[in-house]
A and B are shown apart, each in its own frame.
Chain A
Amino acid sequence: MSIAECGYLTYDELKEKQKLPSEERYEKGPVAVIECVQEIPCNPCEAACHFKAIKIGDPITSLPTLAPEKCVGCGVCVSRCPGLAIFVVNKSFTSKTATVSFPYEYEPLPKEGEMHKGVNRKGEVVCDGKIVKVTNPVSYDHTPVVTIEIPKEYADEVRSIERERGKSA
């Protein structure tokens, strides 16, 4: 099923439409994973990267491509992508755990050290995880980037945390 038919990316569709970092690159440390698969006129990620690791070029509708050897996994692009479609994955956080950094624009923001439920692209809870970092400087313009530590086997799945829904409902 394509994203247009279900609203979320399956890992197969992602692999087919975007060149993902190799397992060797993942083992070297944090790296951006770009989950942008539609040709839309948009290019802020290209300018966001201080290391010129993301390229869109001309036309502006081209899909972004990542040069994994240039990417340092800093996460600036995560906050800049208007589609909230870029993540940073670190598969070598510890021998058993990985981290996933994702944009999170909801209140309440999670806090470092808290335990949260990791959810996949479909919003399903897949594992527990510990928040290791919440970055929200002025330059991110109100798009906080949250980093969660999860068991390594979920690194390609977890893309957000379960949201505390309808607080005052």
Chain B
Amino acid sequence: MSIKMTDLLVIGAGPAGLSASIEAARLGAKVIIADLNMKPGGQLFKQIHKFFGSSAHHSGTRGIDIGRMLLEEAKSAGVQIWLKSTVIGIFPGGKVSIEREMDDGTTELVTLMPKELVIATGASENAIRFKNWTAPGVMGAGAAQTMINVNHVKPGNKVVMLGSGNVGLIVSYQLMQAGCDVCALVEAAPKVGGYAVHAAKIRRAGVPILLRHTIIEAKTDSNGTVSGCVTAEVDDHFNPIPGTEETIDCDVITIAAGLKPTMDLIKLAGCKLTFDGPFGGYVPIHNEKMETSVKGVFVAGDSTGVEEANTALDEGKIAGISAAEALGLISETDADEKRKEIWNRLDSLRMGPFGQRRKIEKEHLIDLYNKEVKEQKAFA
């Protein structure tokens, strides 16, 4: 076991973590990113659709290409990316323990003492329970998306999607691009949850959207793997209406029931949390520098409230600039100016009938910080 020092440790090499590390490294910080995955990029490399947004947000560019750009930028900024590296502990005195798989397959336990820490651990998919929901063939929509778009393997051939938010709509579309058949999209609410244009794409391709419906059972074959899906209409209280059951022949059921911020390490670092429904669950309260109630611990991206890759990129930038400021690499005035520009850009993303609520929630987190955090706890 060894102890290493570094200016900044970023946990999570997704859009938020990468952009935080790029900003900090460009300002002169020595940066290490730790990520438990085999490849960097978080969930960006499975986003093969063109993104919304303005040109400042790479609009019209596919997520996968934004991911490639970020990796190039991180490389040229001198960021060290540690893959297959799982953070297993954050200890008093600012020690972070990482189980790191080396190139020869052996595992090494490394303890880092970073001066500043950015936690950008993203979010994980929610599940919906129905009979046999644990059977092989029932999976998260994101899991199916990883298989088709990253690993280029179809998890099955005939899919029923549960959930009409943007993830459910986009992954349905991408499953068809991969050559799967999407038999139906099932949604308990009376309205489509995601953007209309995404719904329109899959309707044009012939996918029925069953609103006011839910899945009550996965049918399984003799091996116990999925062979069908029983749907039912729901009443105004979302209870299935007896007698409305229908069975759809399928071998995959994908669940797109929203995401929950991944809080484990943020909690472990001692950051003050609050429950925020629209943001997906418990999230850390933070200030306009993306700094938490623990001094030197910054957050960004979906782990501070589930939004989208574009917002994660910008929040990451803010966290990186703020970490560099804490390291004395940029003056407060210059950092403020950079942050202000990014916040303005974020405001343009948090607009319209879908974005407005996220702006309110974000401001709420910052308000809470200003009210409740009189004195930050020490990290290092």
Does chain A touch chain B in the assembled complex, meaning CB atoms less than 8 Å apart? yes
Interface residues, chain A, with chain B CB atoms under 8 Å away: 3-9, 35-44, 47-48, 59-61, 80, 82-85, 105-107, 119-123, 141-143, 159-160, 162-163, 165-169
Q: Do the beta carbons of B197 and A85 come within 8 Å of each other?
A: yes
Q: Do the beta carbons of A5 and B49 come within 8 Å of each other?
A: no
Q: What is the bound-complex CA distance between A160 and B173, given in angstroms?
A: 14
Most central of B54, B177, B198, B200 by chain A CB within 10 Å: B200
Q: A43-B59, A83-B52 are in contact. List 12 more A-B contacts (CB 8 A).
A: A5-B191, A5-B211, A7-B199, A38-B195, A38-B352, A61-B352, A80-B50, A80-B60, A107-B179, A121-B200, A163-B176, A169-B180
Check A82/B204 contact, CB under 8 A, given A38-B353, A61-B352, A167-B179. Answer: no
**Interface of A (DSSP majority class):** loop
Q: Is B55 on the interface with A (CB-CB < 8 A)?
A: yes
Q: What is the bound-complex CA distance between A68 and B66, given in angstroms?
A: 33
Q: Do the beta carbons of B179 and A168 come within 8 Å of each other?
A: yes
What residues of chain A lie closer than 8 Å to B350, measured between beta carbons? 41
Q: Is B348 on the interface with A (CB-CB < 8 A)?
A: yes
Q: Which residue of B lies closest to A160 (CB)?
A: B204
Q: Do the beta carbons of B59 and A7 come within 8 Å of each other?
A: no
Check A84/B201 contact, CB under 8 A, given A38-B195, A42-B59, A166-B158. Answer: yes
Q: Do the beta carbons of B203 and A7 come within 8 Å of each other?
A: yes
What residues of chain A lie closer than 8 Å to B191, measured between beta carbons? 4-5
What residues of chain B lie closer than 8 Å to A84, measured between beta carbons? 197, 200-201
Q: Is B277 on the interface with A (CB-CB < 8 A)?
A: no
Q: Do the beta carbons of B176 and A169 come within 8 Å of each other?
A: no
- Nearest Cβ on chain A to B254's Cβ, whole angstroms: 15
What residues of chain A lie closer than 8 Å to B164, measured between beta carbons? 7
Q: What is the bound-complex CA distance between A41 and B195, given in angstroms?
A: 11
- Nearest Cβ on chain A to B355's Cβ, whole angstroms: 6
What residues of chain A lie closer than 8 Å to B207, measured between beta carbons? 123
Q: Is B263 on the interface with A (CB-CB < 8 A)?
A: no
Q: What is the bound-complex CA distance between A107 and B158, given in angstroms?
A: 17
- Residue contacts A-B, CB under 8 angstroms, 26 given: A4-B191, A4-B192, A4-B196, A7-B192, A7-B199, A7-B202, A38-B197, A40-B352, A41-B54, A41-B350, A43-B54, A44-B50, A47-B55, A60-B348, A61-B352, A80-B50, A83-B52, A84-B200, A85-B197, A120-B204, A121-B200, A121-B204, A142-B62, A143-B50, A165-B181, A166-B180
Q: Do the beta carbons of B351 and A61 come within 8 Å of each other?
A: yes
Q: What is the bound-complex CA distance between A13 and B349, given in angstroms?
A: 26
